Amino acid sequence: MAEEQQNGCTSSDCAGCAHAGSCSSKPQDLREPANPFSKIKKVIAVVSGKGGVGKSLVTASLARMMREQGFQVGILDADVTGPSIPKMYGIHEKAKGDEAGIFPCEAKDGTRVMSVNLLLENESDPVIWRGPVIAGVVTQFWTDVMWGELDYLFVDMPPGTGDVPLTVFQSLPVDGVVIVTSPQDLVQMIVKKAFNMAKAMNIPVLGIVENYSYLVCPDCGKQISVFGVSHVEQAAEELGIPVLGKMPIDARLAEAVENEKFHEISNEYLKAAVNQI
């Protein structure tokens, strides 16, 4: 539940309310200040309605793309119970800090990364914390991490619309959201939940990425729709947002993740996203 306002409304209720701006109960600003050693121009959250649709891969692909364009880029791994970003880049060191805050670790391409895995004694230790504690850690990745000067900070969100996405949307100055989906019908309904959450929090949805859209047969080059016909254009039109890309199942991407060499990847399927984010 979002915070109670004076008249019993919640801060997120204002988004669709006819009295927004004219009633006495203004939405509470719950934003946390960034660390004094952070100067971040744009914060982009990558969300998905459900798990396993390739959200982390899309987050890292967008970060790589902007890095290739010469921008200073960071990734805040808010997927605290299933962190995958450090391993994708082959980062296994521990993050260091001093009294001013924590330093993000740097990938081989210069991308700055912060993840709970960089703070755990042993990176295979499970995180068995309750929602509010996890949400608190994610907020600290904003307030306590010295990101330095960044053009883009990408936030890899946990799947769904739970505690952490709510905290990120309320506590960080998120400039836009990218939604990742897969072609199944069921997931399209789940996409609307992610879309509606961003809308309720007054955060622009920059577009949608469909993953696992097809597979190219290595012998004949035919595109096979493994998970059924794509409905992403239709869903995007309905929601009034652009399609930022359709990604096939591509062994090259999976290998880069497996071999911890994502800093060498160029994900050409998301080229259209450069001008949208």
Ligand X SMILES: Nc1ncnc2c1ncn2[C@@H]1O[C@H](COP(=O)(O)OP(=O)(O)OP(=O)(O)O)[C@@H](O)[C@H]1O
Residues of the binding site for ATP: 49-56
Cα atoms in the 13 Å half-sphere on the side-chain side of 269: 20
Beta strands in 134-233 (DSSP E): 148-156, 176-181, 205-210, 215-216, 223-224
Q: How far is the CB of 226 from ligand X (least distance, A)?
A: 11
Q: Which is nearer to ligand X, 85 or 153 (CB)?
A: 85
- Give the range of 68-76, 165-173, 234-242, 243-251 binding ligand X by CB under 6 A: 243-251
Q: Please, what is the end-to-end C-alpha distance for the chain in angstroms?
A: 30
Q: Tokens 């996203």 map to which residue?
A: 273
Check binding of 57 to ligand X (CB under 6 A). yes
Instruction: Tell me, rounded to whole angstroms, the distance of Cα 127 from its chain centroid.
Output: 19
Residue 142: other Cβ atoms inside 10 A = 26
SS3 123: coil
Q: Which of 159, 165, 183, 245 binds ligand X (CB under 6 A)?
A: 159
Q: How far is the CB of 172 from ligand X (least distance, A)?
A: 19
Check binding of 245 to ligand X (CB under 6 A). no
Cβ proximity of 107 and 97 under 8 Å: no
β partners of residue 76: 114, 155
Q: Which of 74, 79, 146, 190 binds ligand X (CB under 6 A)?
A: 79
Q: How far is the CB of 227 from ligand X (least distance, A)?
A: 11
Annotated binding site: 49-56
Q: Which of 27, 54, 104, 207 binds ligand X (CB under 6 A)?
A: 54
Q: Give the whole-angstrom CA distance, residue 157 versus residue 76.
A: 9
Check binding of 210 to ligand X (CB under 6 A). no
Check binding of 249 to ligand X (CB under 6 A). yes
Binding site for ligand X (CB under 6 A): 48, 51-57, 79, 82, 84, 159, 211-212, 247, 249-250, 253-254, 257
